[in-house]
Amino acid sequence: MTTFPLINGIASYELKTSDSNLFKETIHFYNQLVGLDRQSSGESKDVVFLGSSLCDFKVKVVLSPDARSAEESNDERHQISLLCKGSDWRSTTSSISLKVTDLNSLIRALKEKGYSLQITPNELYPYEVHTIDPLGTIVGFTTASNPMTLIPPVAKLTPDTIAATLQQPGITPSLAVPMSTSVSTDTTYYDGSDQPARRNIAVMTSGGDAPGMNANVRAIVRAAIFRGCKAFAVMEGYEGLVRGGPQYIKQMSWQDVRGFLSEGGTNIGTARCMAFKERPGRLKGCKHLIEAGIDALIVCGGDGSLTGADLFRSEWPSLIKELRDTNEITAEQYQQHKHLNICGTVGSIDNDMATTDATIGAYSSLARICQAIDYIDATANSHSRAFVVEVMGRHCGWLALMAGIATSADYILIPEKPSSTQDWKAQMCEIVGKHRSKGKRKTIVIVAEGAITLDLDPITANDVKDVLVEKLGLDTRVTTLGHVQRGGTAVAYDRVLATLQGVEAVKAVLDCTPDTPSPLIAIQENKIVRKPLVEAVRITKQVATAIESKDFVKAMSLRDSEFVEHLGNFIAMNSANHNEPTLPPAKRKKIAIMNVGAPAGGMNSAVYSMATYCMSRGHTPYAIHNGFAGLARHESVRSIDWLAIEGWNSIGGSEIGTNRSTPEDTDIGMISYYFEKYQFDGLILVGGFEAFISLDQLEKARSIYPSFRIPMVLIPATISNNVPGTEYSLGSDTCLNSLMDYCDVVKQSASSTRDRAFIIEVQGGNSGYIATHAALCCGAQASYVPEEGISLDQLESDIRSLKESFSVDQGLSKSGKLILKSTNASKVLTTQILADIIKLESNGMFDAKTAIPGHVQQGGLPSPIDRTRAARFTAKAVEFIENNCDVIGKYKFDLDFPYGDKTVSKTAAVLGIKSSHLKFTSIRQLYDFETLLGKRMPKKISWESSRDIADQLVGRTRVIKPEA
């Protein structure tokens, strides 16, 4: 391996030790591993020179009794290793910097010998590697002519600063030379003493395919490589495991999963495997994993697949012992593979796994169903027909339930809540008949394929059709969606979920010990969590068992609380204005709803859900049209008619109008007058940061205007997702889907042209939420957000990365590159200027174009997530008003209003998702302590970790200034 001196300007370097073994080890390191030639000492056998034949540079290794002992050298190595584990080693100094012609061979040799390494920017595109020699000296190697040009100088450290950082005795003065301090989140760290950090990790998809599985595989493969592990794919699920061999167990490279994000199904295949259900089949699978050197397996599939995975792990000790006893594996293989780490991610369109709110593919399937029903809805309305739509869900009615809420279906049939044969027929006909009598022209009934009666008799779509024809005389058609529900690309939510869960799964198998129960990667509200796999599967299977034993109460109790909540909301909204209200007249209220701010997907769904839920409870719902300006200027208050809002669930924008005016921008006194005139008992605001400011103004004005002494709640709705008090706002998912579709088309164009990069301008104000998650969804090469800005150092690094990527991708398909830039990421570097700079710096290697989706990002039809969450949020908001009317009402006419009282201030709140909780937070708490008013942002950025993951999975080097 050819080496010669690089940048330090030194002709020789002296290393001393008093230990003869370390003396020999150091010589071996520079001679055998680094490739320096051993030359005659010219002095004695205790002095050895090593150098390159291409120049006069030499490393002098001296054995001297006055030098440090082996214990001191080992301690120094340990201290430096601890120091460098949490930071970039380039922020210290390289006492020796050498250029090598074959960096990959050097990395391989050092890893095999167990040396700690730090590779920059990552193993895929290494151009620099650092390690610690046997005597505790940091040594750098590169293929470049000058590494100082590779990482922009961000800030200089003084020797005093470095000494204060090290805080360890015995550090040689040569380690205190100032260098640039840039931190790369894509630097790969190998700890030679930590074997589990270099596991061979395999991923498998099993059971029915689901949109998002490819995104999960991509994340697992790249996260494993990023962490210094080898990644494998088991083709064709458990069938491939049983068959074995390189055809079915393939090592995956970084490039092998390129383009996976935008593809449906699973590219590594899935198949049912009866052989794996028997022990001999599992024995074969064990042998094949050992032959491939795999010690960790991540399975993406449903409950059956995950049950098989956990059984496989529990049997592993006996399986491997049997293989050793029959001499099918060696004693060395037995010792190396005594334990198998298993982790599960749930890929299932039915969303039937317990302990997780969502499974990979469920929301993509729901989107297909809602899209189909939206189309059917139009023709049903045209002909005044009834349509019976059959959806998947053999043991779980989640798809039917959520589709029923999202499309305002008249009736649903699910396995968890059956009725007797006569009851379901009578109940359905009663509800549909009442809807028709109120003037509704169309009827939609959704049937889960597992729908049953109390006697476990199946209810088919044709059974439902016959009842509607015979009992009500409706012109009825049946539509069975079938496998269309599995098809197509994953929606944004599933891409993000699959990616985050894949990265967490890799972390989980690296964290696992032989005693750790197999984890399941789940999501609760908005947080990725680890749950015991066995427990999740056990609860899931109990649901089917309870249904089979006709214990439907238990089956419902085993579903997560969100399922039960959604079912209750659907039943309430479905009976709006037709059945006797559930509240007595004395407790019925007048509740107003208003949209404030820019339009966002889900606003109409919120109005529809709020109105129908209010009607079912007995409240009178009012809509205030055109925001506070409409109220102050035109008295734009209208009571909501049930038939008038029919179908609003699937309409984008805001049918009652919205604007950005706040109460103080218009006339807060006039607003108070109209509140008093209509005797509102509660107010629901739906909107973004302007709605947040409006709620603050109304709450502060309570001491002056008694009409504002009512419960008030804000449901965040903005594509920017910048409302304090929540990690999710209505409209952000619709926006993300629209932007994702746009980016997929643009990336396809870039790939067709081959050498082209697109810089896409993303909305979001001062929030980088949309840009960050769109980068996760689309695999963008980089994203620039207002929270970070655009530094020239980072831009230079990203351009260099683009050059490397295009160089590697030359002649390959799927080579289009995207860069996302938030509109407010930089006032100077506009989208066009960025494109011009990148094109100029590419030196003709590739082209750069701009693409600005603009208000397309507000979306058309709201996504199913925004529709169903709007229903959930508004039901919670109405309940909040019911529970707090008496709390604030007793102060309605007090002259000395207790402003500042926490109990009273809590009656004006923001309803949001925080981590794994849905909660109300006082506007006073949020406005006074958790908001950056100048930037219109919350102080805590909940999606910060997602940025690191987005960068890691595309091999981007982050250049972070020390003060950041």
Mean pLDDT, the chain cut into blocks of 10 residues (964 residues total): 45 80 87 79 75 70 84 76 56 62 80 80 71 83 52 31 33 24 35 53 94 96 91 95 92 90 92 91 95 93 90 93 93 90 94 91 96 93 94 92 95 90 89 92 95 92 96 95 90 96 95 88 90 90 88 86 89 85 94 96 96 95 96 95 91 94 95 96 97 97 94 97 95 95 89 84 94 94 93 91 79 76 94 94 88 90 95 96 93 87 94 88 96 94 89 85 55
Rounded CA separation 221/230 (Å): 8
Strand order, beta sheet including 296-301: 249-252, 230-234, 200-205, 296-301, 341-346, 519-524, 527-532
Burial class (CB in 10 A: 0-12, 13-18, 19+), 894: exposed
Token pair of 837 as six digits: 């700079």
Rounded CA separation 627/631 (Å): 6
Annotated binding-site residue numbers for beta-D-fructose 2,6-bisphosphate:
660, 718-722, 756, 763-765, 849, 855-858, 936
CATH number of 580-730+862-933: 3.40.50.450
Rounded CA separation 497/261 (Å): 12
Sequence letter at residue 745: V
Strand order, beta sheet including 128-132: 3-5, 96-100, 138-142, 128-132, 117-120, 188-190
Burial class (CB in 10 A: 0-12, 13-18, 19+), 351: buried
Supply φ then ψ for residue 150, to 5 degrees.
-80, -40
Residues 6+ apart with CB under 8 A from 835: 759, 848, 849, 850
User: Using a CB cutoff of 8 Å and minimum separation of 24, what contacts does 852-857 make?
Assistant: 852/760, 852/761, 853/738, 853/739, 853/742, 853/760, 853/761, 853/762, 854/763, 855/763, 856/738, 856/739, 856/742, 857/719, 857/735, 857/738, 857/739, 857/742, 857/762, 857/763, 857/770
HSE of 804 in the Cβ direction (CA atoms, 13 Å)? 18
Q: Does 744 qualify as catalytic in the annotation? A: no
- The CATH homologous superfamily to which domain 376-486 belongs is Phosphofructokinase domain (3.40.50.460)
- For 300-311, the pLDDT digits (tens) are 999 889 989 989
Q: How far is CA 465 from each of CA 410, 449, 473, 562, 675, rounded to the nearest angstrom?
A: 14, 14, 10, 30, 48
According to DSSP, residue 586 is labeled: G
Q: Give the rounded percent of residues in the chain with a pLDDT score beyond 70.
A: 88
Supply φ then ψ for residue 622, to 5 degrees.
-120, 145
Q: Determine if the peptide bond prior to 121 is cis (ω within 30°).
A: yes
Residue-wise DSSP of 226-274: HTT-EEEEETTHHHHHHH-STTTEEEE-GGGGTTGGG--S-TT-----S
Rounded CA separation 666/475 (Å): 51
According to DSSP, residue 810 is labeled: T
HSE of 669 in the Cβ direction (CA atoms, 13 Å)? 0
CA 787 and chain centroid, separation: 19
- For 491-542, the pLDDT digits (tens) are 999 999 999 999 999 999 999 888 888 999 999 888 899 999 989 988 988 8
Whole-number pLDDT of residue 884:
95
Whole-number pLDDT of residue 40:
65
Annotated binding-site residue numbers for Mg(2+):
303
Sequence letter at residue 190: Y
Whole-number pLDDT of residue 577:
74
Q: How far is CA 934 from each of CA 187, 688, 824, rounded to the nearest angstrom?
A: 35, 15, 14
Rounded CA separation 132/116 (Å): 7
Token pair of 788 as six digits: 């970070």
CA 685 and chain centroid, separation: 28
Token pair of 785 as six digits: 């957000």
User: Which residue is listed with tokens 């960025």?
Assistant: 834
If DSSP codes are grouped into helix, strand and coil, which group holds residue 187? Answer: coil
Annotated binding-site residue numbers for ATP:
208, 272-273, 302-305
Residues 6+ apart with CB under 8 A from 744: 262, 489, 778
HSE of 501 in the Cβ direction (CA atoms, 13 Å)? 36
If DSSP codes are grouped into helix, strand and coil, which group holds residue 280? Answer: helix
Q: Closest Cα partner for 716 from 914, 940, 945, 497? A: 914
Angle between helices 732-752 and 492-511 (to 10 degrees): 90
Q: Do 50 and 13 contact (CB within 8 A), yes or no?
A: no
Sequence letter at residue 715: I
CATH number of 735-859+947-952: 3.40.50.460
Q: How far is CA 12 from each of CA 15, 626, 665, rounded to the nearest angstrom?
A: 10, 78, 74
Angle between helices 492-511 and 362-383 (to 10 degrees): 160
Q: Do 955 and 125 contact (CB within 8 A), yes or no?
A: yes
Rounded CA separation 459/448 (Å): 9
Whole-number pLDDT of residue 82:
63
Token pair of 523 as six digits: 């999501």
Q: Do 131 and 115 contact (CB within 8 A), yes or no?
A: yes
Token pair of 667 as six digits: 């006339």
Q: Do 390 and 461 contact (CB within 8 A), yes or no?
A: yes
To which H or E segment does residue 620 belong?
strand 620-624
Rounded CA separation 267/134 (Å): 45
Helical H segments across 753-828, by residue range: 769-778, 792-808
Q: Where are the domains of the chain?
A: 3-190, 195-358+490-540, 376-486, 580-730+862-933, 735-859+947-952
CATH number of 195-358+490-540: 3.40.50.450
Whole-number pLDDT of residue 90:
54
195-358+490-540 and 735-859+947-952 have identical folds:
yes
Whole-number pLDDT of residue 152:
27
Q: Do 407 and 373 contact (CB within 8 A), yes or no?
A: yes
Dihedral of the CA atoms 312, 316, 320, 326 (nearest 10)? -60
User: Which residue is listed with tokens 């750790």?
Assistant: 516
Q: Which fold has domain 3-190?
A: 2,3-Dihydroxybiphenyl 1,2-Dioxygenase; domain 1 (3.10.180)
Among 133, 256, 310, 350, the active-site one is 350
